[in-house]
Amino acid sequence: MSYPGEAPGGGVLVMQDVRFAYPEAATGDAPVLRGVDLKLAAGERVAIVGESGSGKSTLLHLAAGLESPDSGRVWLEGRDLGRLDEVARTRLRRARVGIVFQSFHLIPTLTALENVALPLELATDLGLAERTRRAHEWLAAAGLADKAGRDPEQLSGGEQQRVALARALVHGPALILADEPTGNLDSQTGEAVFELLLEQVRATGCALLLVTHSAELAGRLDRVLTMRDGCLGFPDMGVPGA
């Protein structure tokens, strides 16, 4: 039996006929997503590839509830994001989503340990001692146990991205959204970061939605979809739909 607002068929993330356009003063709305359908099951790892400007990052923003679609629906663990107000969407995102950006986005005034512990402070009622313990554990898992007290500017690019991965996973999210997580790294460092991401996703059982330009990296996930002119489909078919 289905209920009002329930995602069709369940899944960690379900997007149904999602359309989105950025307003353009001179030419009217500029379509970005044109009827995207997507479903991720628990533990599934899906890559989205496509040219710059095809709508990949916008899709991640809508999946996280950072943007709202012009039409269509987005469900996160069965909750219809369109039926939540901004405060409720923020709370859900902080509790159930981890986001990894290409440019790290660490807070420069916080140490590596404090950056990792931040999601626990925002999304849980854990005390300081427990937040610190868990942050130390995730830094150790990322191979950075000895860098806990360092500021981001004292870390290499690869180290900063490993801190960002630990921060994205520390609160036990159901979904990781990764936007070109190796894009600012050299090939060797990028490979190490990618392996760490896959290792931790496997260990925690969360779902992963990865945007990348690398066909090699994408091919190591469970499914590869292509984004073209705002439509999502299989690379060898070029048709909308997941």
pLDDT(214) > 90: no
Residue 74 · residue 65 · CB < 8 Å: yes
pLDDT(197) > 80: yes
pLDDT(45) > 50: yes
* Mean pLDDT to the nearest integer, 88-107: 93
In a domain, residue 8? The reply is: no
Domain, as residue range, for 223: 44-64+95-233
pLDDT bin (cut points 50, 70, 90) of residue 29 is: low
pLDDT(239) > 80: no
| Domain CATH number, residue 150 | 3.40.50.300
Strands 45-49 and 71-76: unpaired
Distance, CA of 200 to CA of 169 (rounded, Å): 8
pLDDT for res 32: 87
pLDDT bin (cut points 50, 70, 90) of residue 23 is: confident
pLDDT(241) > 50: no
In a domain, residue 213? The reply is: yes
pLDDT(131) > 60: yes
Q: What is the pTM of this model?
A: 0.88
Sheet strands side by side (includes 13-22): 30-40, 13-22, 71-76, 79-80
Number of independent structural domains in the chain: 1
Distance, CA of 165 to CA of 176 (rounded, Å): 10
In a domain, residue 39? The reply is: no
Q: What is the pLDDT of residues 179-196, one digit of tens each?
A: 999 888 888 999 999 999
- The residue assigned the tokens 């146990």 is 145
In a domain, residue 81? The reply is: no
